[in-house]
C-alpha cells in the first residue's frame, strides 16, 4: 500500500518516543519518505535498524 507516497507528515517524539518510532515505521511501510531525528543517537539507530527498506541508512555527519 502506498497511502503516503508523495505526502508529508511531521511527528514529534517529545511525549512518546515509542509512538513516534511506530509512526515512522508505518509511514515507510506505506510508501512515505522519512527524515528522522532523535536526541538519542541510540534511539535513532534503533529506528533505522527497524526500517523496512534496504535503502535505510544511518546519518553521516
The whole-number average pLDDT for the span 18-26 is 87
In the chain, domain spans: 1-54
pLDDT given for residue 52 in this prediction: 76
Q: How confident is the model at residue 55 (pLDDT cuts 50, 70, 90)?
A: low
User: Which are the contacts of 17, defined by CB distance < 8 A and separation ≥ 6?
Assistant: 38, 40, 43
Q: How confident is the model at residue 56 (pLDDT cuts 50, 70, 90)?
A: low
Q: What is the DSSP letter of 56?
A: -
Is 26 in contact with 1 (CB distance < 8 Å)?
A: no
For the chain, percent of residues with pLDDT exceeding 90:
0
Is 34 in contact with 48 (CB distance < 8 Å)?
A: no
Q: How confident is the model at residue 21 (pLDDT cuts 50, 70, 90)?
A: confident
d(CA 1, CA 25): 13
- Nearest residue to 24 (alpha-carbon basis) of 14, 11, 38: 11
Amino acid at each position: 500500500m502506498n497511502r503516503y507516497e508523495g505526502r508529508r507528515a511531521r511527528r514529534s517524539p517529545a511525549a512518546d518516543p515509542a509512538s513516534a518510532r511506530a509512526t515512522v515505521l508505518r509511514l515507510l511501510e506505506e510508501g512515505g519518505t522519512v527524515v528522522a531525528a532523535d536526541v538519542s543517537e541510540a534511539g535513532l539507530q534503533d529506528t533505522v535498524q527497524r526500517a523496512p527498506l534496504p535503502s535505510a541508512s544511518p546519518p553521516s555527519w
